[in-house]
Amino acid sequence: MQIESKFIMSSQIQYILLGTVVMLLTSPLLAQPDYAELDQLSADAYTQVVDWRRHFHQYPELSNREFETAKTVATALRDMGLEVETGIAHTGVVALLTGGKPGPMVALRADMDALPVTEQVDLPFASTVTSDYQDKQVGVMHACGHDTHMAMLLGAARVLSAVRDELAGSILFIFQPAEEGAPLGEQGGAELMLKEGLFERYQPQVIFGMHIGLNMPAGSIAVRSGPAMAAVDYLRINVHGVQTHGARPWGGVDPIVVGAQIVLGLQTIASRQLNLTKAPYIITIGKFDAGVRNNIIPDEAEMHGTIRSFDAAMQDDMHARIHTTVEHIAASAGATADVEIIRQYPATINDPQLTAQMLPTLERVSGADPVLTPELVTGAEDFAFYAQQIPGMFIYLGAAAPGENASELPSNHSPLFKVYEPNMELGVRAYVQLAADYLAAD
């Protein structure tokens, strides 16, 4: 009797546990998103995405001056019924979509600013905007694709708003100003948004970003786990010599010759002193100022450059070696030198675990085309500041038209940079399904 009773109780417990498992597996909280529905909604949003993109392209604004752009973005988001906050980091806009069920928060980010570039692309919506930049009147152009980033993220917000009741969690849409760098004397961009408490107020668990172009093939998606884009440091070197007549160089200390030796000496740091098999490094001097007359050796030479790196420890090591190289070369000639290094952007690092988790999503979105693994990009992205705070993943989207050789097209920041607009639908789908899949997986 006791044995039979235990058997019955054991069977009841098994039945209850089995029922619980079935209930969990069929619960909407764990159900996969309806990808057919999401794809259809993304396709339906395409015309509006194109309209948004063309408006932004025709009316670009420089960093920290994205006033009308921000108004357009905020109005569109409010029309979707989202909670909108404006004025973050001067002109930034964020919107919160709260799903129908509890869950984590995902952040999706797009940048808003244009560049001081005069457009040379023959488009009916080409920019004719001019603006003041460093006391000069310049043309203004979305030459880096930020117009498409905003349009695609607005498209994703529209799609996800339509299925908000099915989402287990929330989505934070970040429209960030000044990705290209704040004007001299100002702060801006992702760093300022974070400094003003963006992640303290909203507390997303992960963040996804996207960049179009970068000479990627038509209709392609690419992602690289780990370091993906370079850290950037600003380098300034002042060499102090002794002025003398050009006919009597022994009467002084020539800072131009010393500066030339420094330029060459800096190149041996990356090529001869650092382990290039671990990560590449670049030191470039782009500006060299000295003297006022052909037959006078001046008392000072000033150099300005950029440093690119991918590994934080080796970045510190390289900074120390730059100081040593510059100061010792100057001392060997009887000169002195000052070195200033300003850290501008950290390396953009895709969280390996998050990237592995979301790769199947990108493969599904990409369809028959494989998800590419791009080479390291020595350009920088201030998305890196977000990815220092929480796990992040930054992907690339091809801008070329079918049949075009992407490697031969004008690159980002060129006055001839152009985008094949149908690629934007792929970008909308990527934004949408990255967010939906992450919420469903949690």
| pLDDT tens digit sequence for 324-352 | 999 999 999 999 999 999 999 999 999 99
Task: Tell me, yes or no, if 345 is annotated catalytic.
Answer: yes
At 54-68, the pLDDT tens digits run: 999 999 999 999 999
pTM of the model: 0.90
How do beta strands 168-176 and 231-240 pair? unpaired
Let me know if 330 is exposed, middle or buried by CB neighbors in 10 A (0-12, 13-18, 19+): buried
8 A C-beta contact, residue 231 and residue 345: yes
29 pLDDT more than 90: no
Let me know if 85 is exposed, middle or buried by CB neighbors in 10 A (0-12, 13-18, 19+): middle
Q: How far apart are CA 407 and CA 133, in angstroms?
A: 30
Q: How far apart are CA 122 and CA 131, in angstroms?
A: 20
At 149-167, the pLDDT tens digits run: 999 999 999 999 999 999 9
% of the chain surpassing 90 pLDDT = 90
Q: How far apart are CA 164 and CA 173, in angstroms?
A: 14
Q: Mean pLDDT score of the chain, rounded to an integer?
A: 93
The predicted pLDDT at position 31 comes to 64
The predicted pLDDT at position 8 comes to 39
| Residue whose pair of structure tokens reads 């890196």 in the numeric block | 384
13 pLDDT more than 80: no
The predicted pLDDT at position 3 comes to 36
The predicted pLDDT at position 348 comes to 98
Of residues 59, 281, 345, 431, which has the active-site annotation?
345
The kind and range of the H/E element at 132 are strand 130-133
3-state DSSP: the chain helix, strand, coil percent, rounded to 5? 40, 25, 35
Domains and CATH numbers, the chain: 33-229+347-441 (3.40.630.10), 231-345 (3.30.70.360)
Mean pLDDT of all residues in 351-359: 98
At 89-101, the pLDDT tens digits run: 999 999 999 999 9
Task: Tell me, yes or no, if 66 is annotated catalytic.
Answer: no
- Max intra-chain CA distance, the chain: 117
